């Protein structure tokens, strides 16, 4: 298939592009390199460095005629989204809408959209399923959720097929540890430098961590399954920040003494996503437990 992967120089979508190439697809990556790295783009991929909402992207649709758009390009930093909500909405909402218009105009069959657990806001019950109310707490949560409405409307109005994947906390090789990167990449970076990882609060807060290779397999499955569905992609497993540090201590063989700081205001204490719908709709299931995913991350990073 001809597949356009947006954000393919970034953490998650570079792994997805790699898999699509491996599976024999004709892959084009679109990325403005604002956060991505050219070295992450796999070989045998056509690459366009451009803004989502730029005229070059329309030319790309005209000439390459993608059958599938796998959309991962986004402004991903929650703090930035609060400081610069207009820029955040410009990329995440208007950028996605620009792509959807090209999908409509140039006959794209399916749109796979990387959404986020951030759309749910404070959990009312756990594990959070897809029927859980959507009440995002941050501008990022709003800007990741709003395109879901456009996607569903474009599907109803113009017949564009879609799968919306709401990811839990993704980790793995190539994740950027700077800024507001994922806690695992931040911890790994600190441990490597011999610095103390920082725990905000008592470390009992839990998250549902999913290894990037399981996100890749969900996207590969979504090429042909999960039609017109919104699906959580997660391990359905809670791991506390303290448990995470214990696992990292065992896997790295290092003694880790964390630094404690006050809990961050508004931080969600526990978050776990129910993944049953994805298991059934995508005929998929996560293959990596957190210890297995961490081990694989450490092996890949040292390799």
The b-or-e profile of 55-90 (16+ CB within 10 A means b, else e) is eebeebbeebebbbbbbbbbbbbbebbeeeeeebbb
* Spatial separation of the C-alpha atoms in residues 224 and 72, rounded to whole Å: 18
Output the smallest distance, CB 213 to ligand NAD, in A: 13
Task: List 114's β-bridge partners, or say none.
Answer: 165
Contact 50, 57 (CB under 8 A): yes
Catalytic residue selected from 120, 140, 162, 167: 140
Residue 83 or residue 254: which is nearer to ligand NAD going by CB?
83
Alpha-helical regions (H) of 205-262: 212-222, 241-252
CB of 134 to ligand NAD, least distance (A): 14
Nearer to ligand NAD by Cβ, of 9 and 278: the residue is 9
Cβ proximity to ligand NAD: between 120 and 154 the closer is 120
Q: Which residues bind ligand NAD (CB under 6 A)?
A: 7, 9-13, 31-36, 51-52, 72-76, 91, 95, 114, 116, 144, 167, 169-170, 176, 182
d(CA 260, CA 203): 9
In the complex, the smallest distance separating the C-beta of residue 171 from ligand NAD, rounded to whole angstroms, is: 7
> C-beta of 269: minimal distance to ligand NAD in Å?
18
Can 140 be counted among the known catalytic residues? yes
Nearer to ligand NAD, 33 or 263 (CB): 33
* Contact by Cβ (8 Å): 300, 251: no
Catalytic residues: 140
């Amino acid at each position: 298939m001809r597949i356009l992967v947006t954000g393919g120089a970034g953490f998650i979508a570079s792994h997805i592009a790699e898999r699509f190439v491996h599976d024999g697809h004709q892959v084009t990556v679109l990325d403005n390199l604002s956060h991505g790295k050219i070295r992450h783009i796999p070989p045998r991929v056509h690459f366009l460095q451009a803004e989502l909402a730029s005229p070059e992207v329309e030319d790309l649709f005209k000439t390459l005629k993608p059958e599938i758009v796998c959309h991962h390009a986004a402004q991903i930093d929650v703090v930035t989204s609060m400081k610069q909500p207009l820029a955040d909405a410009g990329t995440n909402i208007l950028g996605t809408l620009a792509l959807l218009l090209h999908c409509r105009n140039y006959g794209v069959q399916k749109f796979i959209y990387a959404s986020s657990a951030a759309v749910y806001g404070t959990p009312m019950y756990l594990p959070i399923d897809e029927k859980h109310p959507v009440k995002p707490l941050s501008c990022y949560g709003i800007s990741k959720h709003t395109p879901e409405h456009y996607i569903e409307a474009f599907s109803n109005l113009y017949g564009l097929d879609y799968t919306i994947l709401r990811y839990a906390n993704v980790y793995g090789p190539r994740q950027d540890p700077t800024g507001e990167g994922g806690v695992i990449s931040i911890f790994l970076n600190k441990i490597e430098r011999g610095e103390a990882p920082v725990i905000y609060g008592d470390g009992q807060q839990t998250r549902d961590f999913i290894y990037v290779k399981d996100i890749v397999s969900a996207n590969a499955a979504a090429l042909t399954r999960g039609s017109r569905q919104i699906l959580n992609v997660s391990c359905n497993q809670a791991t506390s920040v303290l448990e995470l540090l214990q696992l990292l201590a065992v896997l790295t063989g290092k003694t880790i003494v964390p630094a404690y700081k006050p809990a961050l205001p508004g931080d969600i204490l526990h978050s776990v996503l129910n993944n049953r719908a994805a298991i059934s709709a995508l005929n998929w299931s996560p293959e990596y437990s957190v210890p297995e995913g961490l081990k694989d991350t450490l092996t890949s990073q040292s390799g």
